């Protein structure tokens, strides 16, 4: 497989970036368009929020075969080079942006960057995966015992090896075999020499949508990436569905898994997805605004200003302001040019922390009782720094309102989550968290309130919840077998 792989040093994240939950990755694929790689690069740019560590593209050209490029850093810094894009010819291709949750976490090698490629007797195939396999450790041991040689530390590579061992006669059937063996969450975009393939796991934990562009087709993690290339949104790939798209053959739908009640990740609505995307027929922006409305109804407070913690808290802050009647204001300004850097920050720069990224609008804040609306509290380190900045600017009171329930449990389905003991809500009550953050009040939206905001009028049905909310409830829809083997303890009846 021709592939020019440039192994540059990965970007260094600033130390305050680790106080947010991060989606593992985004996937994108297109077929039936000239210069597919250019469309893929644009799609990955729109999905950059889902993974900012590295990106990769694989294309296929009928004359020259498969081509690949994988790079560390932002899409804009790599896949806008005409010289690089010329190495990715063809009208069919897939791409991937990633953070590291599984694999060589924090020390990513270029070999961990997707898409992954495999050469089979009936031709090559590439695969890009969003999610996390909860039985990857067990599968890897089994495959290695049977002679498989792994090239990466990623759980996603298990799928390629399982496909290689399948006895089925075509690649889509081999993929079905492989995916029936894996557990956890997966939205997969794959390609053969002629076909584009999309699959969601039976619970539909991670998103995947289908679009149309001219005579071609698009698969994407989110609808916002369809918009950037001028593609028309057709529909969501359904939980447990596989679509196989062939040249001039349309979209063929398959159901390789036993039907189950879907459990889409509710945190996609809260934080992961872009606000201009559509999830389950709902505007992400409108859902987040409605979260703010519910938050104001559940946890009112007398104050002068409602201020978002940029940028993810903005729609909820608008909803909170509209429901409460308290004026909305940009009390914190984000430095839009703040990114990652090759330069190791000095200790003095490290101590500036959040101030490199956010700055308080002092003239607005001084003497005011301020409600800060944020999407979540994870470790609490960033919340404390923001509170200190607001008080330093002369605020009279600081009240936190959080647009998600307390994050008390780690996610094992494709989200970079700290160990449970490092989650503030796992070791403290709401009152203890308020004291720890030293704010005048701290309130979270309830789980029922969150469900109402996403359209469940009666709140959460504890017997059959519609969404995966394990990070809040501790109720895992797929048993995290690898983590249990490592000693992780599931929620007890007492909790």
Q: Which residues are catalytic?
A: 25
Phi–psi pair at 425, nearest 5 degrees: -75, -10
- Residue 215, number of CB atoms within 10 A of its CB: 10
Backbone angles phi, psi at 276, to 5 degrees: -90, 10
Q: H or E element: which one contains 373?
A: strand 369-374
In whole angstroms, what is the distance from residue 191 CA to residue 389 CA? 49
Query: What distance in Å separates the CA atoms of residue 30 and residue 325, rounded to the nearest whole number?
Result: 46
Name 128's bridge partners.
189
Backbone torsions φ then ψ of 471, nearest 5 degrees: -65, -20
Distances (CA, A) of 121 to 128, 161, 164, 169, 174: 20, 13, 9, 9, 12
In angstroms, rounded to a whole number, what is the distance separating the alpha carbons of residues 125 and 300?
54
- List the Cα angle 229/234/236 in 5-degree steps: 105
Instruction: Specify the DSSP element, H or E, that contains 329.
Output: none
- Residue 232 is inside which H or E element, if any? strand 232-236
CB 39 within 8 A of CB 229: yes
């Amino acid at each position: 497989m021709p592939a020019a792989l440039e192994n540059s040093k990965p970007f260094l994240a600033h130390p305050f970036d680790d106080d947010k939950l991060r989606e593992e990755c985004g996937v994108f694929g297109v077929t039936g368009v000239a210069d597919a790689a250019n469309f893929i690069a644009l799609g990955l740019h729109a999905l950059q929020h889902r993974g900012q560590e590295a990106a990769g593209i694989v294309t296929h050209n009928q004359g020259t075969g498969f081509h690949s490029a994988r790079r560390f850093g932002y899409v804009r810094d790599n896949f806008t080079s005409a010289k690089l894009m010329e190495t990715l010819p063809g009208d069919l291709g897939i791409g991937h942006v990633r953070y590291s949750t599984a694999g060589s976490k924090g020390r990513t090698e270029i070999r961990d960057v997707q898409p992954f490629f495999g050469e089979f007797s009936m031709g090559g195939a590439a695969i890009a995966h969003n999610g996390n396999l909860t039985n990857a450790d067990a599968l890897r041991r089994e495959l290695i015992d049977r002679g498989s040689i792994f090239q990466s530390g990623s759980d996603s590579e298990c799928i390629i090896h399982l496909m290689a061992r399948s006895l089925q006669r075509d690649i889509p059937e081999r993929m079905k075999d492989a995916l029936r063996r894996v557990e956890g969450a997966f939205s997969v975009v794959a390609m053969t020499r002629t076909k584009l393939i999309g699959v969601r796991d039976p619970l539909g934990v991670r998103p995947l949508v289908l679009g149309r562009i001219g005579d071609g087709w698009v698969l994407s993690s989110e609808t916002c990436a369809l918009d950037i290339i001028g593609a028309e949104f057709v529909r969501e790939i359904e939980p447990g569905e596989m679509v196989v798209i062939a040249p001039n053959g349309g979209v063929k739908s398959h159901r390789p898994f036993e039907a189950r009640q879907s459990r889409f990740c509710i945190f996609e609505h809260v934080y992961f997805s872009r606000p201009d995307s559509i999830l389950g027929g709902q505007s992400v922006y409108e859902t987040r605004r409605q979260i703010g409305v519910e938050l104001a109804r559940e946890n009112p407070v007398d104050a002068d200003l409602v201020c978002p913690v940029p940028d993810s808290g903005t729609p909820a802050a608008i909803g909170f302001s509209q429901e409460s009647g308290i004026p909305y204001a940009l009390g914190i300004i984000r430095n839009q040019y703040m990114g990652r850097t090759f330069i190791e920050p000095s200790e003095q720069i490290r101590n500036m922390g959040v101030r490199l990224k956010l700055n308080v609008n002092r003239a607005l804040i001084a003497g005011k009782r301020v409600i800060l609306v944020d999407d979540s509290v994870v470790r609490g380190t960033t919340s404390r720094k923001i509170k200190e900045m607001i008080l330093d600017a002369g605020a009279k009171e600081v009240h936190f309102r959080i647009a998600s329930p307390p994050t008390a449990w780690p996610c094992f389905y494709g989200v970079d989550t700290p160990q449970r003991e490092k989650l503030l809500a796992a070791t403290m009550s709401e009152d203890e968290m308020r004291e720890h953050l030293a704010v005048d009040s701290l309130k979270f939206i309830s789980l029922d309130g969150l469900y109402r905001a996403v359209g469940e009028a009666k709140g959460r049905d504890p017997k059959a919840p519609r969404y995966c909310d394990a990070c809040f409830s501790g109720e895992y829809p797929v048993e995290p077998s690898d983590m249990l083997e490592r000693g992780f303890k599931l929620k007890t009846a007492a909790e």
